[in-house]
């Protein structure tokens, strides 16, 4: 191997060639032609027929954006009309008048401010379908006719039991013995005779845990909700309405408008839940039919709620109150979509101890707590100062009157002698004034007064007419009263349920009146089962074994 480099003509590392080899031309392939663009014939010009010119678009079908800068001042009266169809500005805000309608339609019947609007945010058009359309406009093509033949039934002609393919349709009524359904036109004729207590319990009990209901929210009783309630009445006698949000501040207002617009009767009310009875002689086919609103009209412009110098204050005084309100603790914090039944009474009681009251509305929509402030301004009444930091700050005003001074007051008991007094010398002087005819009174809150009255009525408290009693005599009175109260407390009548409906002698036709509200007040907020706690007594008083024991104790 050592002799390999010495061989002639052999180089292990040959140098690169000085000139590159000649480049041989390679055959070039012609590029493929792209896909030719198709050439279509020019469109033919459409000739318009001069005999049938195009109709202008209906302004009712044109949508307007709610955030537009449209602003038009308005005055009372008709602001837009198309024949007998008109948009009217009045005491109830913006209303719509249609020919043959029983009343002027509104978007919301219960949440319309009492202040007249000063301007509108969109052109004044009726939100209903135009009368030239052959069917109600839904924005879609008409559906094809169904091949299924679904039997239709109303409340006067319910389906026979066991019919397939038909939803539950309740029988008409209930009717007193020997009576039948009658065709009625007025509200009194449709409602029929007032319901008895056992009939109310029978109608309400299936709906206590029922989720088929109408939800009433921040807009209150809207126009389309009327047709929704009638659709519930089509198959059941009672419609359950659950109210939440701002309208629950004034439940009496909601109940009034629901009964007035629907023609029904509220037979039971617990908190924000209402049970609306359709009437004994209700017929779905002869019900009043209302046109459906196709869109929500823009809310008009109302005067400002917050003023720099509110009524009774100067601008400087109002600013001082606003600065004090920043460090003020709120009396409560309102939850979103809650039930605010006791809010008005809470604000009134808070004004007894402070001239300013604040409510925390963190998390609520801006329009909600502004509507809430407007309602409190009318119901309490009070003066609104600010809505800063999602909180309502109110001042009670210069014309504020205490609600405690109007309550009944009780005189202080007089002492038999100065030796029996256990209080301070100042108290003994006041008691000596009572002996000379100077009567002092004690002011109590309305809630405390109701508690005392309830305790006295249920024999859990006793008013002593004889004030000057010795300690032994007073102890005997207390022991005797304790026996009576225990016997009374354990002698409540038993409630027996049976398949047959038993009517009590108190269930007379005069027990109710459709002209007056028959539901509970706002203060009676409790369980829904409280309706059955007031059942008619079926067992006479004094027939239980504990009553015999109580008689023996009292005789001893």
Residue of higher predicted confidence among 123 and 454: 123
Does residue 2 sit within a domain?
A: no
**Rounded to an integer, what distance in angstroms lies between the CA atom of residue 325 and that of residue 356?**
7
Q: Are 268 and 200 in contact (CB under 8 A)?
A: yes
pLDDT in tens, 451-470: 777 777 766 666 665 556 77
Does residue 172 sit within a domain?
A: no
Does residue 456 sit within a domain?
A: no
Q: Which of 375, 395, 415 is the last residue of a domain?
A: 395
Instruction: Tell me which residue range forms the domain holding 77.
Output: 72-120
Q: Which of 276, 294, 312 is the last residue of a domain?
A: 294
Predicted local confidence at residue 499, as pLDDT = 38
Specify the number of domains making up the chain.
3
Clarify whether residues 311 and 384 are in a common domain: yes
Does residue 527 sit within a domain?
A: no
3-state DSSP assignment of residue 339? strand
Q: What is the pTM of this model?
A: 0.63
Clarify whether residues 320 and 290 are in a common domain: no
Q: Which of 259, 294, 329 is the last residue of a domain?
A: 294
- Give the CA angle between residues 273, 278, 283 to the nearest 5°: 155
pLDDT in tens, 503-528: 444 444 444 454 444 554 444 444 54
pLDDT in tens, 399-413: 888 887 554 444 433
Count Cβ neighbours within 10 Å for each residue of 81-114 and write b for 16 or more, e otherwise: eeeebbbbbeeebbbbbbeeeeeebbbbbbbbbe
Predicted local confidence at residue 122, as pLDDT = 87
Does residue 109 sit within a domain?
A: yes
Clarify whether residues 273 and 356 are in a common domain: no
Instruction: Determine the average pLDDT of the residues in 183-187.
Output: 86
pLDDT in tens, 226-243: 999 999 998 899 999 999
DSSP-derived letter for residue 120 is E
Clarify whether residues 285 and 198 are in a common domain: yes
CATH classification of the domain holding 332? 3.30.110.60
Clarify whether residues 191 and 240 are in a common domain: yes
DSSP-derived letter for residue 278 is -
pLDDT in tens, 15-45: 555 555 565 555 555 556 577 777 777 776 5
**Rounded to an integer, what distance in angstroms lies between the CA atom of residue 83 and that of residue 24?**
94
Does residue 390 sit within a domain?
A: yes
Enumerate residues 6+ apart whose C-beta is below 8 A from 534: 197
Does residue 417 sit within a domain?
A: no
Predicted local confidence at residue 506, as pLDDT = 45
């Amino acid at each position: 191997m050592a002799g390999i480099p010495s061989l002639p003509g052999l180089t292990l590392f040959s140098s690169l060639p000085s000139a590159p080899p000649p480049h041989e031309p390679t055959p070039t392939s012609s590029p493929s032609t792209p896909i030719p663009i198709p050439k279509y014939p020019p469109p033919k010009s459409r000739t318009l027929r001069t005999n049938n010119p195009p109709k202008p678009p209906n302004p009712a079908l044109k949508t307007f954006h709610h955030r537009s800068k449209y602003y038009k001042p308005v005055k009372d009266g008709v602001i837009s009309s198309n024949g007998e169809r008109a948009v009217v500005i009045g005491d109830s805000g913006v209303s719509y008048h249609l020919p043959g309608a029983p009343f002027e339609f509104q978007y919301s019947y219960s949440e319309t401010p009492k202040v007249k609007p000063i301007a509108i945010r969109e052109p004044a058009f009726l939100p209903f379908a135009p009368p030239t359309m052959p069917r109600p406009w839904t924005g879609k093509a008409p559906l094809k006719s169904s091949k299924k033949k679904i039997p239709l039934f109303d409340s006067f002609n319910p389906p026979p039991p066991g019919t397939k393919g038909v939803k539950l349709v309740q029988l008409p009524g209930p009717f007193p013995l020997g009576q039948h359904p009658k065709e009625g036109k007025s509200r009194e004729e449709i409602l029929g005779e007032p319901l008895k207590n056992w009939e109310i319990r029978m109608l309400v009990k299936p709906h206590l845990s029922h989720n088929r209901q109408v939800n009433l929210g921040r807009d209150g009783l809207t126009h389309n909700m009327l047709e929704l309630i009638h659709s519930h009445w089509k198959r059941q006698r009672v419609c359950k309405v659950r109210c939440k949000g701002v309208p629950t501040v004034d439940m009496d207002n909601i109940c009034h408008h629901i009964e007035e617009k629907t023609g029904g009767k509220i037979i039971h009310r617990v908190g924000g839940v209402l049970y609306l009875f359709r009437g004994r002689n209700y017929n779905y086919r002869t019900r009043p039919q209302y046109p459906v609103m196709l869109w929500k009209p823009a809310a008009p412009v109302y005067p400002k709620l917050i003023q720099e110098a509110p009524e009774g204050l100067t601008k400087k005084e109002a600013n001082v109150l606003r600065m004090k309100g920043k460090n003020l603790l709120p009396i409560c914090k309102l939850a979103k979509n809650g039930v605010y039944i006791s809010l008005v009474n809470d604000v009134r009681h808070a004004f007894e101890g402070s001239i300013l009251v604040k409510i925390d509305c963190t998390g609520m929509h801006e329009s909600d707590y502004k509507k809430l402030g407007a309602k409190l301004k009318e119901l309490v009444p009070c003066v609104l100062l600010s809505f800063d930091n999602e909180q309502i700050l109110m001042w009670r005003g210069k014309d504020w009157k205490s609600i405690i001074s109007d309550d009944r007051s009780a005189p202080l008991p007089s002492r038999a002698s100065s030796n029996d007094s256990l209080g301070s010398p100042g108290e003994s002087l006041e008691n000596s004034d009572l002996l000379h005819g100077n009567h002092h009174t004690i002011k109590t809150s309305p809630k405390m007064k109701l508690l005392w009255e309830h305790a006295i009525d249920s024999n859990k408290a006793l008013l002593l007419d004889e004030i000057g009693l010795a300690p032994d005599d007073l102890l005997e009175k207390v022991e005797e009263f304790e026996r009576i109260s225990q016997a009374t407390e354990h002698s409540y009548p038993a409630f027996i349920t049976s398949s047959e409906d038993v009517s009590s002698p108190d269930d007379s036709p005069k027990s109710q009146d459709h002209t007056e509200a028959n539901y509970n007040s706002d203060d009676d907020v409790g369980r829904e089962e409280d309706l059955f706690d007031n059942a008619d007594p079926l067992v006479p008083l004094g027939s239980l074994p504990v009553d015999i024991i109580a008689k023996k104790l009292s005789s001893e």
